Structure 1
């Protein structure tokens, strides 16, 4: 059964990586949420995709140059014409505290492929453990060294490798990295690849799939999950796929 992960929450209809987007994902029946984490200047784990706040908020500047208090003043819904009022950038703990009593899975993408945030892995692992979410959490990153480190520090939490281009001999690579899953750009995914991965016990969760035809193709391939900005739409198309 293919699970539906709401990419940055229900980012197609709500401000990405905000509590309103995550709550909407649960409301429409997503199986899980996906979000991105970075560290503030004072070492707090915040949920935001870009390394700067310019695109998604009414502020400007680098996340790692701003304190948590400064970041919380920004409106992550500012580009939505007032439709969602003031949505602060969430702290990861805020999300986990909300998610814990639900049945949702969570994919935490560590955004440390460009900025090597010191202690991001350890702090994120500690929070996941604090809320007892080890078995409902997947760590992913384009920084595969980070994923290998997470596997060493927290072997009980699933890790997955994000990538854009097809990997040469992915099975040997994944074995060396000791990862549990592959999160490829969806255009690189074939039915044969999915079958080969699953035969080896590896989960395949392509990103980011918003078009109905691509969704239907991934459902037909039997991928383990998809990441989509439109979880409600994905659920409807999943029900229509034979």
Structure 2
């Protein structure tokens, strides 16, 4: 089972910060995961929420702010001072020499719509990484998965199924053509038969307890996303 540091080493350091990624990249794990959104002036920013409110000392929607304004946001903590959010360009530069894999989640809905996938592909192409097999796109949006297939058909595309889909999409009908499927730990425990569905690898989030990590491993999960990658390394003796 492959271990992915969710939002970097977010269980110990400020999520999605340079320090969180730096510390995750030092570990002997499979990869790191990040979320991206677009600023008003078209920059691809590494941030989970639609706003800066929860993770910084400033407020406001990223889609309503220019990069110059976003750069004023402090995303650190008292124990681990950090500066502003990363651009995807900066994360790619930090990550590329590591040998690890990178899982990029495009966040939807958003003001940018399909432009977000276009800009991610553009940034990858600019960095010379568009054909790098270590890059994976993940999303809760079938539209985003379809868009990525059109823009970069060779790239791994993981559709993240929401928990409520087990009620409203019992047959697990796919509205796009992903190359992998994601599910939460909750859904995995409620519906273990969905692990490995359609013959596709399963990406499971967000697993932080050793007993849950061992459960995921025993039940055939392929990729484990965790805020605690060191805990996972100890829990799963690979």
Whether TM exceeds 0.5 here: the answer is yes
Contact 2:183 2:205 survives alignment (8 Å): yes
Superposed, 1:1-242 pairs within 5 Å as 2-77=1-76, 80-81=77-78, 83-129=79-125, 130-132=127-129, 134-165=132-163, 166=166, 167-170=169-172, 172-173=173-174, 176-189=175-188, 190-197=191-198, 200=199, 202-239=200-237
Instruction: Tell me the distance in 2 between the aligned counterparts of 1:195 and 1:119.
Output: 31
Q: Which moved more, 1:138-147 or 1:106-115?
A: 106-115
Looking at secondary structure, tell me which structure has more helix per residue. 1
> Residues 219 and 43 (structure 1 numbering): CA distance in 2 closer, same or farther, change over 3 Å?
same
Give how far 1:29 is off: 2.2
Q: Which moved more, 1:68-77 or 1:133-142?
A: 133-142
Contact 2:19 2:82 survives alignment (8 Å): no
Instruction: Tell me the distance in 2 between the aligned counterparts of 1:142 and 1:191.
Output: 20
TM-score, normalising length: structure 2: 0.91
Instruction: Tell me the distance in 2 between the aligned counterparts of 1:131 and 1:13.
Output: 31
Instruction: Tell me the distance in 2 between the aligned counterparts of 1:47 and 1:161.
Output: 19
Unaligned runs of 5+ in 1: none
Give how far 1:168 is off: 2.2
Give how far 1:68 is off: 0.7
Give how far 1:195 is off: 4.5
Contact 2:17 2:86 survives alignment (8 Å): yes
Unaligned runs of 5+ in 2: none
Question: Match of 1:177, SS?
Answer: coil
C-alpha RMSD over aligned residues: 1.7
Give how far 1:126 is off: 1.8
Contact 1:33 1:104 survives alignment (8 Å): yes
TM-score, normalising length: structure 1: 0.89
Contact 2:17 2:82 survives alignment (8 Å): no
How many pairs align? 230
> Residues 196 and 61 (structure 1 numbering): CA distance in 2 closer, same or farther, change over 3 Å?
closer
Contact 2:114 2:147 survives alignment (8 Å): no
